[in-house]
Amino acid sequence: MMIDKKENELFFENWIYKREYYKNFNYNVLSHINYEIRPSRKEEKESFSDCFIMLDTETSKKYKNRIDVNYIVAFSISLRAFNKNIVTLYGNKPSQCIDCINRILKSLKSLKTIVYVHNLSYDWIFLRQFLFSEYGTPIRQLNTKSHYPIVIEFANGLILKDSLILAQRKLEKWAEDLNAEHKKAVGKWDYNKIRTQNEIFTNDELEYIENDTLVGVECLDILKKTLHKHVYSMPFTATGIPREELRKIAFKNHGKEWFNRLVPDYLQYKKLEKIYHGGFTHANRHFIGQTVKGLISCYDFASSYPFCLLSEKYPCEKFQKTNTNCDIKYIVKDSENFAFMFKFTAIAIKLKDTDFPMPCLQFSKCVNTVNAIIDNGRILYADYVEIYLNEQDAITILEQYDFYKHICSEVEFSKKDYLPKWLTDYVFRLFTEKTQYKGGDIVLYALSKAKLNSVYGMCVQKCVKEIIEEIYSSGEYIKHKFDSENSEEDLYITYTESRNSFLPYFIGVWCTSYAQKNLFELGKCCETWLYSDTDSCYGINWNIEKVSKYNQKCKDKLVKNNYSCVIHNNREYWLGIAEHDGKKDEYSEFKTMGAKRYCGRCNADNELHITVAGVPKNGSVCLKNDINNFKKGLIFEGKKTGKKQHTYIYKEFYIDENGIEIADSIDLSDCDYLLDEVNVNEEWENLINEEVNIQIYD
């Protein structure tokens, strides 16, 4: 069926947006929304509605302070097309929500219609049984992990997409970053109020549910225009944005041929998975539980991972195997020109400086250990260890540890060189754009910042991903195991042969190792290193001259690869240097209870700020402005922090005595968090003072 796109656009030329109860709206209006044909090799071309639609629900529970079923008490659906907000429709019951979707689908002329949900994993639970009843079970579903679907498609052409994984931020922040016309109506909905499905909403409540979806379609439209996309070609995730851009650049520069020359075989890939480690996060064990007073300063790296992509050398040929076992010193000696991956086996390995606060050897990455003494996941001493390393991690381990005997086996090597210019130029362009847009175009700044932060993520995504399937009858999620017919090795080969694969996994592995080595170098610039998290160091008595020398070294590395600074507003911006933002990075009090558990009184506002994994930042209110309350046994109360516990409840659909439609739900209850501390094995102190009998293992 042909459509007159110009005529449809003229139809909405003087359109006035409205918010309307879903049954009162004239859905014939939607027949004037265009559709687009997605290019396809299939004989049957697919048409998609050329509009953004977002759905959201609000829920209530039957009883206060009790885990019971929650149920939908409000829904809103906003539509935007032709750069205009068309309508926001609302109602109460889940069955009404399905009715509203049906009316929309019937009026639109496309075969497929995409409906976004910000945090699909939540709303999906409440709507799934009602959707199954109307449309049957999905024909396609992509899950990132259990209970986290990002795309769900039904046979009738309805496609649900998660916008949260694309935005990588809450709706309120997304609207702020992209300067959307509307903003989330924070505070205008009482989540503690018990409601029915016959609720008559106040103007404030209507504004709240309206803006939850209106903001969403505005942000999606802004993103679409900025990326020069179609509705059907919008990326699924934030990482998908730079991946698609870089893939096009790679194809123009023979990137696939480069990939084919370097890509490891399956066994090498599995070894690389063992070598890869995350960022270094650790607390100085000598100060755990102690309040440190004075001038505590923090230095952060400027774009640590992008810097390593531009400044360092990576494997530039296929890894070659050697039958010769060797000493770790030989590997370190050749680390400037060669990349190595190998298994490191050591007997009686121990820190050289028993007081050194930041041991690098990660217990969880060890293949085998005997009698390991652990400091918050890092090894202080072990009778025996086996771990897979590359030459960059070997440099740090050789600096920090002594061992009675050791051997490097399964050694493979490759020459090293800079990454191809089409890749590093793209990374530098993103850094340039982020810098130049700062303080200017907030949309382009937010997008360039997100893309720069996502480039590293592209390099460390697993080549073979587990298939996670939702069992629609029970709501459970299962991971499909690899089998002989669909083995992991076969899937890896399929991945390497795909025309869309162009970034070898080892880039992310080496990038992380370089970044960790840089962090240890920065940590040497202060007298007392208190805490570290991936790209930042908190310490006392910083040697500014050492920091300056480190920064000059970073600059020299960039210049050596023909990159320099970005000048904006008469200021130089360099990748990789250690930065300190005045009083914002200074603390008069500091206390840590272990990794991802620290607190400090910032000199900029004289307020306590916390970082505790699993606790919102506003949890600092529980300290009552006293850092001494940040201690083992402190309870961060869910009522104060807003932290919620998710309890999934699966029930047969029924209608209760009040006419409330109830099916599957999630109970959100206040969740307290008990602060604990990290304890180092008591044997460590004994080990320092006693002679140890070393057992030798073959």
Distance CA 139, CA 218 (A): 29
What's the pLDDT at 685? 53
Q: Which amino acid is at 520?
A: F
CA dihedral 288, 296, 360, 352 (to 10 degrees): -80
Phi, psi values for residue 5, rounded to 5° = -65, -40
Which residues, 6 or more positions from 676, have their beta carbon under 8 angstroms from its beta carbon?
593, 594, 632
Using alpha carbons, list the distances in angstroms from residue 334 to 213, 268, 337, 413, 632: 57, 21, 6, 10, 47
Residue 463 CB-half CA count within 13 A:
31
Helices 544-560 and 304-311: crossing angle in degrees, nearest 10, is 50
List of the chain residues with pLDDT < 50: 688-698
The tokens describing 276, both together, are 């890869």
Distance between the two ends of the chain, CA-based, in angstroms? 76
Can you give the pTM of this predicted structure? 0.89
User: What's the number of CA atoms in the CB half-sphere (13 Å) around residue 688?
Assistant: 11
**The pLDDT value given to residue 81:** 95
**How is residue 596 annotated by DSSP?**
T
DSSP E strands, 354-472: 366-370, 373-375, 378-390, 401-402, 405-418, 467-470
- Cβ-in-10-Å burial (0-12, 13-18, 19+) of 180 comes to buried
Q: If you ran DSSP here, which 8-state letter would residue 594 be given? A: E
The whole-angstrom separation of Cα 318 and Cα 315 is: 8
pLDDT at position 443: 82
Contact 346, 384 (CB under 8 A): yes
Q: Which candidate, 517, 564, 509, 506, places its Cα nearest to that of 399? A: 517
Which pLDDT score, from 0 to 100, does residue 679 have?
66
Q: How far apart are CA 116 and CA 73, in angstroms?
A: 20
- Going by the DSSP 8-state scheme, the letter that residue 363 receives in this structure is G
* Per-residue CA distances from 529 to 121, 356, 600, 613, 657 (Å): 41, 9, 15, 21, 63
Model pLDDT, residue 652: 86
Which pLDDT belongs to residue 370? Answer: 95
Provide the pLDDT for residue 121.
93
